[in-house]
Every structure is written in structure tokens, then in C-alpha cells.
Chain A
């Protein structure tokens, strides 16, 4: 799980072009949206693309997103349970 969390942090930094942010700067339990990393709805779309492209996960129920993208840790848990690649 630790490696998956690190991978996700690196991928988030890359796809969201978070210049000057390092993986260790991201608290895996902190909120991704709002106060934490301060991401917005367009970033949510980028994360959905990331999940599908890198892990073969298609989010069919939009209401799931809020829970899945709560933090890097919740993302990692969902990826670990649902990944197809």
C-alpha cells in the first residue's frame, strides 16, 4: 500500500502539473479538495482519467467520486480493491 500511495502522489503531481510540490509534501490523509491540496472540479476530471489510464478503473457512478477522492489514502484503497491493471 505504501508503494501505491507514493505512486499515486507522483502521478497526481505529474497530471495536475503541481510545480514545486514533492510527494512528501502531500499528506496522504489530507483532503485533496478544498483546504488540503486545493483541487477543483477540473482536477477531479484529471484524476478520473488517471484512474482509468493507469489502473483500468472506470468510475461509472459519479456519486462515488466524493468518497474515493477524499484523500490520497482513500484513492489508494479504492485502487487496490478495484484495479484491473
Chain B
């Protein structure tokens, strides 16, 4: 039984809830840009929205948009990956603890400071009583959610799933990471451009133009281990590594991190076409969700009609590596 991508939606530092980035990309010069918001009143009434931070509003907006674009009215599962969850409300809660001497703490900020708020709030909004989980594993949070969904399908526990990847970047967290030289200070130097991610995919076992053919997560893999897992993933789909037509690599402009992608592509795909997405969408813990979004969009379009199998490859600090295999049906 296959797992197929029915629809998707994104809110990011590109125009929201559309694919205008293909023809009219929003170009950013600054290393820190917040997401371009949509009109959330079209999705959430003000009374319901009053306790939601930006990340929850975005997660609901992309979820509803993706569901409307699919023929799935109620998913069997809602699964989300997020590196930091509702960090904006977490910061407010922690700041209040510090400023007020651990008194006068506002409950709404506390409620939204837990990571699993995202999937649960989406499910509450949708009135979905199915399987519900939120994964928070730094740079492989989205892939963990995706793998969970994949296994839900494989075991027959779900016939449809709403899978999301959501992360917000607050000024405070950006500043903290900036001290670690995480963000780009000069062209050609270390560091990446920050981004914010909110992506939702509707998956189901009904055949669609794009199949999610495999997901692999690896921790500090050797070249042999990478080769073995990549080969095994392809074989499960009935193909070989040589059948992969193009690679979507998580190059962010960070010279140190990009060397890993150079080595990977040089070893396994020296002559294959390469695509990137982080120059348009920035870096975040769940940016691989953006990579899968871009790959799915390209497979559906007629811009590259010869593409059949594409691989999305990302690594987080050269520790956590992920492979997502998509196939055109």
C-alpha cells in the first residue's frame, strides 16, 4: 500500500498559502526575517485565536488550506514536527517568571509553552479525535513526524494523515543562536539565513500524482551506513540509487554545513541535477518540510517533466541526517 501526497500548504518567509515563490520569489538580504502572515480571521474566530501564538495560527491555517485542497475531510491522524514548539509563548512565560519573581504567571502562556500543543490544537480545531502526536527532535522533528505517519500507513492504522512541520523564530532565540555564529554575518562566511516554517501535508493511501516512497533518519552515519540505508530505501520502492533523477539538498549557504552536502552529492549523485530551497525559505529546525514541499510542487508541475524519483536530503549539524524519497505517479 502506497502513501501519497494529496495536497500541501505553506506559510514562510515567502508569500503565504500559494506557490508564488516559483515565479515571484521574495528575496531577503537580512539574516533574520519573520514569516509573511496571512489573514488568520479567515480561519480562526478572534475568541478562539486569543490564546494562540503565531505558530498555532499558522499551523491551523496551513492545515485547513491543505485539507480543503484534498479530498480528505477528516484525517485519521494529526502528526506534527516542531523543533521548539510554541517558543514565543514559552519565552513570555519564562520572562514573566523572571520579571515577576515566579508570581503572576499567566496560564495561557503556560498552556501554549508545551510542545504538544500544536498537534492537539490543530486536532481540537478540526474536531479530529484520531491519532495525535507532536515530535520535537530538533533538526529531525518533521522527519520523525513523517516517519510516524509512514508507519501508521504501513501498519494499517491510518488511511489518511495530516502531517505538519512548524517552527517560529523569535528575536530572542535568533539572538541566542547568533552568539553561536549560527546565522550568516557576511557573504561566503559561516552561518545561514533564518526562516520560519509552517507546512502541512495531507497524506492518504489514495493514488495521487506524488508518492511518498520512503523516509530514513540517520544519526552520525558513516558513508557505508548512508549507502546501505539509501540503497535499502530505494529497493523497498523497487528502484536503485541510479534511478533517482534529482536531489533536493538542504544547502543553506553555511560553508561548513554545505561541505557535507557536497560530499554526499559527490559520492552518490555526482551527475544528478540538484535543487535547493533554503535560500528562499531560510533555515529552521523543520526546514526539511519546506524541502519536501518544494520537491512535491516541482514533481506536480510540468517544469521538469522527466523527473520521476527525487530525494530530499538534509542534515542537522552533521549529526542527524534525513532522506525523503518522492516519486511521480
Contacts and interface: CB of A to CB of B under 8 A. Distances in A.
Interface of A: 15-21, 38, 42, 45-46, 49, 52-53
A21 B47 CA distance: 10
Interface string B105-134: 111100100000000000000000000000
Contacts of B106: 15, 46, 49
B100 interface: yes
Q: Is the interface on chain B under 10, 10 to 19, 20 to 34, or 35 or more residues? A: 10 to 19
B50 A42 contact: no
B97 interface: no
Q: Which 8 residue pairs are nearest across A and B when measured between Cβ atoms?
A: A53-B104, A17-B50, A45-B107, A19-B46, A49-B104, A20-B46, A42-B107, A49-B106
B50 A18 contact: yes
B323 to A, nearest CB: 41
Given A17-B50, A18-B50, A19-B49, A46 B107 contact: yes
B51 interface: yes
B37 to A, nearest CB: 13
Interface string B63-98: 000000000000000000000000000000000000
A63 B307 CA distance: 67
B111 A38 contact: no
A17 B107 contact: no
Given A19-B46, A42-B111, 20 more contacts: A15-B106, A16-B50, A17-B51, A18-B46, A18-B47, A19-B50, A38-B47, A42-B51, A42-B107, A42-B108, A46-B107, A46-B108, A49-B104, A49-B105, A49-B106, A52-B103, A52-B104, A53-B100, A53-B103, A53-B104
Nearest to B104: A53
A74 to B, nearest CB: 22
A16 B108 CA distance: 9
A42 B50 CA distance: 12
A58 to B, nearest CB: 10
Nearest to B49: A19
Contacts of B107: 42, 45-46, 49
